Amino acid sequence: MKEKLELLVAEMIEKRIYLNEAVDEFEKRFIQTALSKTKGNQTKAAEVLGLHRNTLSRKITQYKLNGRR
Q: What is the pLDDT of residues 6-63, one digit of tens each?
A: 999 999 999 999 999 999 999 999 999 999 999 999 999 999 999 999 999 999 999 9
Whether 35 maps to a domain, the answer reads: yes
Tell me, what's the pLDDT at 26?
95
**Beta-carbon contacts of residue 33 (< 8 Å; ≥ 6 apart):** 69
Instruction: Decide: residue 23, CB within 10 A, 0-12 exposed, 13-18 middle, 19+ buried.
Output: exposed
Residue 46: give the domain boundaries: 2-62
Task: Output DSSP code: residue 67.
Answer: S
Tell me, what's the pLDDT at 66?
79
3-state secondary structure 10-23: HHHHHCCCCHHHHH
CATH code at position 16? 1.10.10.60
Whether 67 maps to a domain, the answer reads: no
Please state whether the predicted TM-score (pTM) of the whole model is above 0.85. no
Whether 9 maps to a domain, the answer reads: yes
Whether 69 maps to a domain, the answer reads: no
Whether 43 maps to a domain, the answer reads: yes
| Count of H-run helices and E-run strands, the chain | 4, 0
